[in-house]
Structure 1
Amino acid sequence: MKALHTLSLLSLAILLSACGGGREPETTPQAVRDLVTAMHDQGGSAGPNRRAQAQTAVGAKELLDWAEYRYAESFPKGPASISLDYQGVTYTVRAYPNGNYLGVTEDGGIYGLGPFTNNNLRGFGRIADYVSQIQADSCYVYPDTCPTNPPNNTLNGCTMAASDALKLGNRLKLEYTVSTTGDAASTGQYTLDTLVAQHTPFAGSSAVQSTYTLSGSSTAAGVTTLSTIAGKDYAQEAAYGLILNLGDEVESDIRTPQGNLQSTVRTVYAPAYLNSEFTLLPGQSLTRTVGARVTSSSVINGVPTQATERDQSHTETVTYELRENISVLGRSYDSCRYRETRANSNEVTTTWYLYGKGIPVRTRVVGSGSEELTELKSGSLNGTPL
């Protein structure tokens, strides 16, 4: 969290606690007046001129409600927000019984004051810095308005906790066989090499970047297609060990005897979403809508096409069916079986995840007259075989 060298409405919380009102009364002690003036001056020339930013889905109320959920010990639920005007600018403050204050400036600055800051005024960035986290935790903050089947509070054991999965330096190497039946019957083999690489910004949020390469070939009707895909996934650690998916960037190079397709796609989830399916118990389901802003461009046989930017979304239902032992290409795995369907699609995807790791060991996609089967041939995590 970064301290901002601007006016803090939390300095005004002192005024509120001293006076008990929403506007400064004439009886305000001179020491409080002096402090407010000093804090106002700290904002420099921008202080008196700051105004509210454009309205977004996350404002002062949502930020303060979320802080009470995430940091309940410092900000116990209960106090109402108090709106205070000072020199023509509106501030929103909540004063807590433990002596802590939290508030938001009209343009989205966040400040705290009280025992949790050693009674020193401290800035905690801006609302925009927390939007993805606030949206990801919305089911916990406002359970009554959450969509069907909100996530449970804990992981179900089918995958790694975010702190382990997103640990820098993690290296995952997997080799898969792929076969399809139907009119476009084919066979192929692919290698996936993934590294949790670094902390970096993405779409205005802090993120953990994982890089990967997926390379291999498939053959259908005697024609072989070569594929090389280089990608970057962006995510954050969320509450209860969950992962908040922010988006990805993918560069693909597909080569066939008929020609070559190269493409670049950037996806920003709007909003970011949690891997909440890994909180389900056997037999439970969740339904969610995943929205994204997608920017793409391509080059076909050396000729670039016009870049596009569009909003996309789909609604999916994910069910944790059961935990079972399965045999894949001669190897036995303890797995969690999940089933996924999408609205307006007749495809059914069944995935078996390695228990405790969340790595797919088998995926079956069944559609109209076709089936695609992907199976793990070999794999290792940080050099240790799976």
Structure 2
Amino acid sequence: MNAFGPPKLTLARGAGARVWDTDGNEYVDLLGGIAVNALGHGHPALVEAVSTQLSTLGHVSNFFATVPQIELAERLLALLGHGEGKVFFTNSGTEAVEAAFKLTRRTGRTHVVAAEGGFHGRSMGALALTSKQAYRTPFEPLPGEVTFVPYGDAEALAAAVTDRTAAVLLEPILGEAGVVVPPEGYLARAREIATEHGALLWFDEIQTGIGRTGRWFEHHRSDVVPDVVTLAKGLAGGFPIGACVALGAAGDLIQPGNHGSTFGGNPVACAAALAVLDTIESEDLLDHVTVLGQKLRDGLAADPRVTEVRGEGLLIGLDLAGDCSAEVAAAALAHGFIVNNPTPSRVRLAPPLVLTDDDAAAFLAAWPAILDAADEARAATGEDT
């Protein structure tokens, strides 16, 4: 189906942070499957974990538990570091959001407050929580009673949350909107507002979690304890998995019969996720992501055609002087680099956590020429750069 438009490339293989198309052309993948390929392509630890588990036990249904499933749930709760909780495993971020959305209904309330610019998935429930009208309008009416407020505006958040609110849903950093970092203290204020009204505080860490920003979870930077955390993308390094983690009393809201998944939490996906977590630790990738991310942000900001660079770790967004992000993405591809243009004036980078210093340096060296090529493409169409 024509859900994605014409593909830019047909990719055939990958190794580390590099991919090759069917014509043999090589690219540095600075998008990482949209923040999914945490260990790049073909990492031996991930290949070994999936191969071994699949040859041992591949699927058992949700009538039974498996050792990888239990170990992963315990590991995630330990990494979150917020005490006791429960985990529901899914196959994607959208499914994790659906599980969390249903969990909020178990409070007996139906109102949710979410952020403008937030993105939480394309299914009907997840779409109800996503503000972008271009995504929503063709499928309305959508389920739920959802109020959207400007991201980062604590006063607007306080005005929208009431004693009827089931949950406040926020990304610790907006991803699809172009990597927007909230003001200092915003997440802490959200915690205060939710607590004041007896609402759950739900952090969508599907894009920001599992080391992407140089911490296991981006909300750790603010020392805020949420009630619900949704995860996916980089959790299993490309193997489909998602997780809805409910902490404290929220962990008891879902009871037998309230939700389910045939494939969610299957042992192969959980083994893959454990391998990713082990590798992030053993290869000191959190420190690597922090240092390399700063080098990339500094290098990108050095060109005057870039008006702002934002982000943490290897989740990076930048604003361009004109609406030329499509031309920049096309020029980058022609130079052998895959980047994303989420808005007309913004570029997003979310490369594998194993991106090398040399690949990052090569991109920064090519960056001025990429912008030159984009300027030329705009000039050829008669548009201002």
TM-score bucket of the superposed structures, by smaller chain: under 0.3
More helix by share: 2
Higher relative contact order (CA 8 A, sep 6+): 2
TM-score when scaled to structure 2? 0.23
Higher gyration radius (CA): 1
TM-score norm. by structure 1 comes to 0.23
